[in-house]
Amino acid sequence: MNASLAPAWQPEFETQYAELSQTLERLIPCMEVPLHLPWIDAINKLKKERGAVVMAHNYQSPEIFYGVADITGDSLALAQMAAKCDAEIVIMCGVHFMAESVKVLAPNKTVLIPDMEAGCSLASSITAEDVRALKAKHPGVPVVTYVNTSAAVKAESDSCCTSANAVQVTEAMAKEFGTNKVIFIPDRYLGSWVAKQTDIELVLWDGCCEVHERFTGMEAKHTREQFKAKIVAHPECPPEVLAEADFVGSTSAMGKWLAKEKPERVAMITECSMADNLRNDFPQIEFIKPCNLCPHMKRITLPKIYEVLLNMSNQIHVSEQDVIGARRSLDRMLAVGRGDKV
């Protein structure tokens, strides 16, 4: 966006956004806050005019997460809430597969993403053609697909899963198909973690998250010894990292664990903004940050949110065939969670 079109600072922001400023000053460099407030004000006014809702993933930066988001959470929860909310326009502050998931569950809504290049190494590691090849190689074996995938890949799968329910869904699919083997895609580290918790044989794909794969067991061990911190890790991390962890779980499960255990000091082995945003909810906990930034999540910025909302640009489109197939896979996963017959 042209810098000359950037919204200007207004003196009334100091009182209007006093509470938000206090929150952001705890989470980001304080000198950045006055730069963000004009954009936050402009976005909040424009989304009200448009009747739009802004959704932000847990990995979004605090100025987005707390400044303009109406709904926050993990990718599946956001998609489910998008389908239930009254707004006809949804801005997904996350990566491309997340916006596709919103479109799958809310096909009649206008879904915008602030940056079309906000991708995901997991989602880009596998295609629908790859899934068809796997099914041909392993006939009769169900395919369980992590939600961090494109709508086209979900459409070729038998069921989706999240990191929180991967074991449960894997076992349910094996039982339904009458087999002891499941094709689990695309994250090999999440798949390895699932394999250790079930007797089901897993056929894994060589995909990984470029954020979580960079962590090492040595880093986790050093953090524990140097800072006497509890280690909380995402299951997309390598096995040697998970072996050092006090808790392994999804982004939503991490917050629940902190609320229950209330550690004095904790290291979040995941994307940096996850720890930033949780620090606001748990001010009594000291957060050590051996974290990595997701370059794709950080493509989402306040100016880009404003621009797509202003111009109604970067609309997400998913073919009707992929909507039907991906919705089937997502519904199958949700049926497992409800205890329905699948």
Domain locations in the chain as residue ranges: 3-119+297-311, 122-208+319-338, 212-288
- Mean pLDDT across 268-278: 90
Contact 224, 241 (CB under 8 A): no
The b-or-e profile of 231-263 (16+ CB within 10 A means b, else e) is bbbbbbbbeebbebbbbbbbbebbbebbeeeeb
pLDDT surpasses 80 at 107:
yes
pLDDT at 337: 62
pLDDT surpasses 70 at 311:
yes
Strands 71-73 and 52-57: parallel
> Which percentage of the chain shows pLDDT scores above 70?
96
Output DSSP code: residue 292: B
pLDDT at 342: 33
47-59: per-residue pLDDT in tens? 999 999 999 999 9
pLDDT surpasses 90 at 256:
yes
What superfamily in CATH does domain 3-119+297-311 come from?
Answer: NadA-like (3.40.50.10800)
Tell me whether the CATH fold assigned to 122-208+319-338 matches the one assigned to 212-288: yes
Residue 34 Cα distances to 7, 26, 65, 86, 323, angstroms: 12, 14, 16, 32, 42
Contact 299, 59 (CB under 8 A): no
Q: CATH number for 122-208+319-338: choose from 1.20.1250.20, 3.40.50.10800, 3.40.640.10, 3.40.190.80.
A: 3.40.50.10800
Length of the chain as a residue count: 342
Contact 81, 53 (CB under 8 A): no
State the pLDDT confidence band at 339, using cuts at 50, 70 and 90. Answer: very low
116-134: per-residue pLDDT in tens? 999 999 999 999 999 999 9
Q: CATH number for 212-288: choose from 1.10.606.20, 3.40.50.300, 3.40.50.10800, 3.20.80.10.
A: 3.40.50.10800
pLDDT surpasses 60 at 4:
no
Nearest alpha carbon to residue 113 among 137, 97, 135, 133: 97
Q: What is the pTM of this model?
A: 0.91
H-run or E-run covering 147: none
34-49: per-residue pLDDT in tens? 999 999 999 999 999 9
Output DSSP code: residue 318: -
What is the pLDDT of the chain when averaged over all its residues? Answer: 93
**Which string of DSSP letters, residue by residue, matches 97-112?**
HHHHHHHHHSTTSEEE
pLDDT surpasses 50 at 333:
yes
pLDDT surpasses 80 at 2:
no
Contact 321, 328 (CB under 8 A): no
